[in-house]
A and B are shown apart, each in its own frame.
Chain A
Amino acid sequence: MTLLGLLEREPSHGYDLKRDYDTFFSRGKPLPFGQVYATLGRLARDGKIVIGEVEPGVGPERKRYVITERGATEVESWLTDPVEAEPSLQTVLFTKVVLALMLDRPAEEYLDRQRAAHLRRMKELTEIRRGGDLVDTMLADHGLFHLEADLHWIDTTVARLDALRKVVRR
């Protein structure tokens, strides 16, 4: 969907799409060229893009991709629909806590370890934030707010472990 969205700005070459994707969306995980062209092939097959003019010249053939009406409609609908807010209430962390209590293991110690791991990651993201541009900052912020929410949950859960132990060990 991201590549399709980038194509709505203007017809582009695969190389340009990869460059823009890597600049704004990949953050340390560059998109392989193979994946770019596989995605473009799929989008063309589904009628969401077409191949425009082919520029001859030195080097590999350079195709320019153009978004179709159908593709633009899909981008519009994707942008408009809200992302589903946390559809699943089940989390690995919750499962670990409940199992630890059922098995009479030190759940609080596990949560402490998790807190330490979260804080380490928050420190890394804070460093990225401090040294980075606005795009880095926004991405790091997203991670930081989610980790912070987890930490609130961890703190609340630690305070409720005794009560939860009684519930799960009936």
Chain B
Amino acid sequence: MKAIEARDVHLSFGETPALRGASVAVAPGEIVAIMGPSGSGKTTLLHCLAGILVPDAGEIHFDGRRIDTLNEHQRSVLRRDQFGFVFQFGQLVPELTAEENVALPLLLSGVKRAPALEQARPWFERLGLAGLQRRRSGELSGGQAQRVALARGLVARPGALFADEPTGALDSLTGEQVMDLLVASAREQGTTVVLVTHEARVAAYADRQVIVRDGKVNALVAA
């Protein structure tokens, strides 16, 4: 059983090929790190797996269902209901408080405000953010903002969490705290994680690492 799979995926931006037959399969609950040099196609592969980009050729499957053939609206619903995201720069909504940011995926899925905030609150204790619920993103340190982003990515108990350089903007100690929490929380919930990073120390937190080079997944390390 595979939670997420890319089969022979090709994707070009104009004349420039980004993916040239990339294949990777991630098991349910597995944490996989996608590594590779700049421009190798690792973020493009993540975006294809997460239903953000649609490949020119090849297939993407999630939870036994082919998702690259879904239309824009269907993929949008899938991302909202099934996937969580963490990006390099927290990308919190600056007008919202930290707890509103965490509750956002629930609010967008139609959960009422009070229960959504209720569900968001335990994350502050869990991620060492107690007392920061009412702060706005400008009042949080980089590490705190990224932990809020992590809570937002996991609050709706997604089937998969996609993280693109989640520690890229943090110093190494803070980055490791975020990775410790990411791995522990994902394991606790049984969430499948696909993580893009150029840092080997971050990739070492994953169950498995794959290398993307020239738009293909390196089979040696993928084995």
Residues of A within 8 A of B (CB): 109, 112-113, 115-116, 118-119, 122-123, 125-126, 130, 144, 147-148, 151, 155, 159
Contacts and interface: CB of A to CB of B under 8 A. Distances in A.
A115 B211 contact: yes
Given A126-B204, A144-B201, A148-B200, A112 B37 contact: no
26 contacts: A109-B220, A112-B211, A112-B218, A113-B220, A115-B211, A115-B221, A116-B220, A116-B221, A118-B200, A119-B203, A119-B204, A119-B209, A122-B200, A122-B201, A123-B205, A123-B206, A125-B204, A126-B205, A144-B201, A144-B204, A147-B200, A148-B199, A148-B200, A148-B201, A155-B37, A159-B37
Nearest to A129: B176
A28 to B, nearest CB: 19
Contacts, number: 38
Q: Is the contact region of chain A dominated by helix, strand, or loop, or is it mixed?
A: helix
Nearest to B173: A141
Interface residues of B, number: 15
Interface of B: 37, 180, 183, 199-201, 203-206, 209, 211, 218, 220-221
Q: By CB atoms of chain B within 10 A, which of A112, A113, A118, A119 has the most? A: A119
Contact of B200 (A109, A113, A151, A159): A151
A41 B148 CA distance: 59
Contact of B204 (A109, A112, A123, A155): A123
A115 B205 CA distance: 16
B195 to A, nearest CB: 13
> Closest 9 A-B residue pairs measured CB to CB?
A122-B204, A126-B204, A112-B220, A116-B221, A151-B200, A123-B204, A148-B200, A119-B209, A126-B205
B22 to A, nearest CB: 16
Contacts of B180: 130
Nearest to A116: B221
A112 B211 CA distance: 9
Contact of A119 (B37, B183, B221): B221
Nearest to B36: A155
Contacts of A123: 204-206
Most chain A beta-carbon contacts within 10 A, residue among B183, B199, B204: B204
Nearest to B203: A119
A170 B48 CA distance: 44
Choose among B180, B209, B218 the residue with the greatest number of A CB atoms under 10 Å from its CB: B209
